[in-house]
Amino acid sequence: MEDPTPPFSRKEELCKWWLLRVDKVEIMKAPTEFSDPWGLGSNDPRPHSARFSGPLLPVLAKAAQGYPVVLDPLAGTGRVGHLKKYGYTGRIIANELESEWARQCKSNGCDQVLIGDAAKVHFPTFHCVVTSPTYGNRMADNFKTRRPTSMRGRYAGDLGRHPSPGSACCLYFGPEYCQTYRRIFENVVKQLSLGGRVILNVSDFIRLYKRVGVCRWYKRLFSQELGLVFRETIPVKTKRLRSVGANTHLRVPNEVVMIFDKP
């Protein structure tokens, strides 16, 4: 597979600055028990900055209507349960690797909650997938900083520790990111009922002043590698996160909802 990471030939000074910065930070290690390196407090609920936003929910609910059981294999705090507020009438299963987030899924309307690695879990029967993988952008940052609050809005900062083995939260878009999500979605699609549907919320982002083609990679993954039939891409204008990363004024304006069917 061609390396999806964009070349670093432009903006040399910015590249040098970033590499120097990375050399000076300390990457967080996986703890043996709960730790709180950023001093955010250990009480639940742990925040999650990448939940389904309001404008996405009605689009997702409409696309999922008619499928009896929805699965979100990467559920976070289970905001997929809010589909019921927008007309979805079926059953919703949430799977999440991190227990601090999984414990919040029931209160968000999910009917069943699983805790496990989505690349390995054997799921109950489901007919539709509604999920949003991480985008591989600066929300994947995972290092100690001088200001504890500066890591809020990143997955590791919200969680208060390094994510568990098998998580893609702290992977930047590139070969390892692609390999991890390929394993996850191979397992999910294999178990999806025939005639089922995958509804994917993804987005491109800006890195070093260049747009990174996350959406294009997922379209190729599902339609060419996993054998699903691509139906449509729906652009959805959302508020986006304006406080994370160096290029906050260069955000891609829309997220997208991509729909695939399993023949």
Tell me whether residue 195 is in a domain.
yes
Question: What pLDDT was estimated at residue 162?
Answer: 78
Tell me whether residue 121 is in a domain.
yes
pTM value? 0.75
Q: Any idea which of 149-153, 190-194, 197-201, 210-214 has the lowest mean pLDDT?
A: 149-153
Residue 244 has pLDDT above 60, yes or no: no
Tell me whether residue 149 is in a domain.
no
Tally of domains within the chain: 1
For residue 118, give its domain range: 43-143+170-261
Tell me whether residue 135 is in a domain.
yes
The CATH number of the domain holding residue 72 is 3.40.50.150
pLDDT in tens, 14-25: 333 333 333 333
Residue 206 has pLDDT above 90, yes or no: no
Please provide the average confidence, as pLDDT, over all residues in the chain. 78
Tell me whether residue 93 is in a domain.
yes
Question: What pLDDT was estimated at residue 90?
Answer: 97
Question: What pLDDT was estimated at residue 25?
Answer: 34
Question: What pLDDT was estimated at residue 33?
Answer: 35
Residue 168 has pLDDT above 70, yes or no: yes
Tell me whether residue 36 is in a domain.
no
Q: How far is CA 151 from the centre of its chain?
A: 17
Mean pLDDT for the stretch of residues 63-91: 96
Tell me whether residue 31 is in a domain.
no
Q: Any idea which of 21-25, 56-60, 73-77, 84-88 has the lowest mean pLDDT?
A: 21-25
Q: Any idea which of 83-87, 103-107, 250-254, 256-260 has the lowest mean pLDDT?
A: 250-254
- Residue 229 CA to residue 22 CA, distance in Å, equals 41
Q: Which residues contact 126 (CB under 8 A, 6 or more apart)?
A: 69, 70, 71, 93, 191, 192, 193, 196
Q: Which of 144, 151, 202 is nearest to 177 (CA)?
A: 202
169 pLDDT band, cuts 50/70/90, is: confident
Residue 70 parent element (H or E): strand 69-72
- pLDDT above 70 as % of the chain: 68
238 pLDDT band, cuts 50/70/90, is: confident
* Termini Cα distance of the chain: 25
Tell me whether residue 101 is in a domain.
yes
